Structure 1
Amino acid sequence: MNVNRRELALPVLAVALLGTVSAYAGADEDTVAKNVEAFRAAQAAADAKTLESLCAPELSYSHSDGRVEDKATFVANATDGKSKVISLAYQDVKIRVVGTAAIVRFHWLGEAESVPDGKKSSTNLHILMNWQKQGADWKLLSRASTKL
């Protein structure tokens, strides 16, 4: 069987391109993972500036009780000082980058204390986040949660 250079070039080019795409996907996954951790830390610290910077203007943030908030409402409620996060863990984080979108799933375990009365509460949730690459930055576009 005779193989000419053209017939050999296409598979070599395809393998090279796949390696390049994979490298970009890996870099994007790393960036999204860092943003997810920064988001968790900002939630725990009630850091409005960081939450603002990580969320897309079009944010749709839904809670396990069915409430849906836009970006301004989410940031205001997350940083209003009415509760204090005692602990917040994102466990078993899975990230899948698809083009300019990233699908993030994880198990949320949290404990908070109500500031007015000192009452503690815990949350055990499954979270789905959708991040979108906007320019050079990855921004949280939507978030949904389900009680476990």
Structure 2
Amino acid sequence: MNKQTITRREALVALGTGIAAAGASTPAMAATAADAASLEAASEALRQALEQGDGPALQSLLHERMTYSHSDGRVWTKAVLLEAIAGKQRYLSVRTSAQTVEVAGSTGIVRHTYDVVNNDEKKSTGHLKVLLCWVSQGQGWQMLARSATTVPA
């Protein structure tokens, strides 16, 4: 009889692999996929609300403690963003691409490339990488934080 021995490390790796494989087919994973789809829909609703200057939609999509960081270093609160959208800040076009969506419990992360045409005091364009942090508190997803970085030419 040929006896094989394995190290403690090999046993732990095998155990971890088995647990991960078993967990991949559980209903919790299906819920995560559904959460990711609803987060993706919320992110698209945010894009549309920004493009259309839809204050009421933004009111419901933005968390009360939201922070909105621009690529030039400006940081806005929810109140400042809503005031800007109602005033001079206009997004003529907002397009996203290369989007990824991840959900961890009640927190979601959306990353995408963001191409925007602004018309505040003068028309300008931006090509950005954006990170959005969302929270779900039973009333759907709300954006808690946004950070943008200019993509180098």
TM-score (norm 1): 0.81
Change (3 A) 1:113 1:58: closer
Counterpart in the other structure of 1:79: 86
Structure with higher strand content: 1
DSSP 3-state at the match of 1:39: helix
Change (3 A) 1:20 1:136: farther
Match of 2:108 among 99, 102, 108: 102
- Counterparts of 1:1-40 in structure 2, within 5 Å, are 15=22, 18-40=25-47
Gapped regions of structure 1 (runs ≥ 5): 1-10
DSSP 3-state at the match of 1:135: coil
1:85 positional shift? 2.8
Counterpart in the other structure of 2:125: 122
Gapped regions of structure 2 (runs ≥ 5): 1-17
Change (3 A) 1:18 1:58: farther
Tell me the matched-pair count. 133
Deviations 1:35-61 (A, max 9, x none): 000000000001110001001111011
Q: Structure 1 CA distance, aligned partners of 2:100 and 2:27? A: 22
Amino acid at match of 1:139: Q
RMSD: 2.1
Identity of aligned residues (%): 31
> Could you list the runs of 4 or more consecutive aligned residues of structure 1 that deviate by over 6 angstroms after TM superposition?
none
